[in-house]
Amino acid sequence: MAEHKEPDSLDEALDLAADALENGDIEKARFAAYKAVEIAPDSAVAHHYLAAVLSEMGDYNGADREYHEALARSPDDPEILIDACHLILDYTTHPEGLEEVRVLAGRGLDIAAGQGDEDLQAEFMLAKGHALLELGEAEQALDVYSSAARNMPASPTAHLQIGIALFDLVRLEEARESLLRALALDPNLALAHWHMGLVEERAGHLDEADRRFKQASRIDAERFPPPITLTDEEFDHVVEEALERIPEKVRSKMKNLAITCEAIPTEDDLLDEKPPLPPTVLGLFRGHSLREQQGFDPWAEFPASVVLYQRNLERACRTKEELVEQIEITLLHEIGHYLGWDEEDLIERGLD
């Protein structure tokens, strides 16, 4: 490990960490940030710097810990609040983390409003909207994103997120308009091209959808690699193998459960739920659970089925191994609904 000059004061340690981060010397930045915390363990700024460095290194658990240390010392610092929101959104989609972002962003919004800082308000609105969208609350997310766009009408990110929320609400024409608005402001928004591809696919414009997906991949190949694709026969074979691994005591309860595969969800499938299911849903249980069938509902006797959406599953994965695993997880998730498990049951079993 390279030798580093020992800083003598908090300011010197923070300056050293900032310079090292700017120059891309992450090890030196880490050394200086730890020294800052060592020199002034009660300094929110020191913990904030260390959190930023650990985040840059990919140590999300360490960064999360340090952001909480910083917030414990300065709970109303808007810079710490927004950075903490960004970190959580970058590394988790767990409901507990997303709920925390909702709370932190709400606090930040109040602070930014009190300061009259519209740009800062919009930043917190975007963070809150991301959390709401991940929590499946697309209607609320749309309201928050629309407020952000009013604060920052020239923000491509705000219009992009409005488009994504509208897409999740199956309001496809409105989604297309917002996504095109975002691309007019920034033609290199890979995520906007990707969602335009999803919109065009649902409209049946498969050539245009493919062009958009390829454009997203050209702009950001790391985030949008070409999807892993299976033939229909290969996909069915993976599903059959996953079914064979289900314990016999569970399979014995599935005699009246049909398992089917489709390319993408139908509009009826999506709009049958309130609020609508997002069009990127990986699978769906249709019908009544075993628990409901044991009741007195006359409609519960109709056949139940699980459907897997092949294109959505393929797009959600980077490798064939990951795709095979995700097919099995999705299949078990939907079978869990048939068995009468709720979302908490599924999370406990690792099937969320």
Q: How many residues in total does the chain contain?
A: 352
pLDDT, averaged per 10 consecutive residues of the chain (352 residues), comes to 70 90 90 93 95 92 95 95 95 90 96 92 95 94 95 94 97 97 98 97 95 96 92 95 87 85 93 90 86 55 84 94 94 86 52 44
The interaxial angle of helices 44-57 and 10-22, nearest 10 deg, is 20
The verdict on residue 161 lying in a domain is yes
- Position 292 scores a pLDDT of 62
pLDDT at position 349, please?
47
Residue 258's DSSP bridge partners are 305
Give the range of the structural domain holding residue 322, as residue numbers without chain letter: 232-348
Report the first-to-last Cα separation within the chain, whole angstroms.
42
Could you tell me if 50 and 161 lie in one domain? yes
C-alpha separations of 192 from 29, 162, 219, 267, 350 in Å: 34, 11, 11, 22, 31
- Claim to verify: residue 158 and residue 285 sit in the same structural domain: no
Using CA atoms of 65, 68, 74, 75 in order, give the dihedral in degrees to the nearest 10: 170
Say whether both 15 and 126 belong to one domain. Answer: yes
Q: SS3 of 260, please?
A: strand
Strand order in the sheet with 283-286: 257-262, 304-309, 283-286
Reported pTM: 0.85
Query: What is the CATH number for 56?
Result: 1.25.40.10
For position 267, what pLDDT does the model report?
Answer: 92
DSSP string spanning 181-194?
HHHHH-TT-HHHHH
Q: How many CA atoms lie within 13 A of 231 on its CB side?
A: 3
Same-domain check for residues 263 and 181 = no
Where in 59-161 does DSSP place strands (E)?
A: none
pLDDT of amino acid 342: 59
Task: Output the pLDDT for position 94.
Answer: 86
Shared domain for 64 and 142, answered yes or no, is: yes
Tell which of 197, 224, 252 closes a domain.
197
> How many separate domains does the chain show?
2
Q: Tell me the per-residue pLDDT of 101-119, one tens digit each, with 9 for 90 and over.
A: 999 999 999 999 999 998 8
Q: Are residues 150 and 289 in the same domain?
A: no
CATH number of the CATH domain containing 305: 3.30.2010.20
Instruction: Please give the structure tokens belonging to residue 99.
Output: 């709920």
**The dihedral sign for the CA sequence 216, 222, 226, 231:** negative
pLDDT score of 304: 86
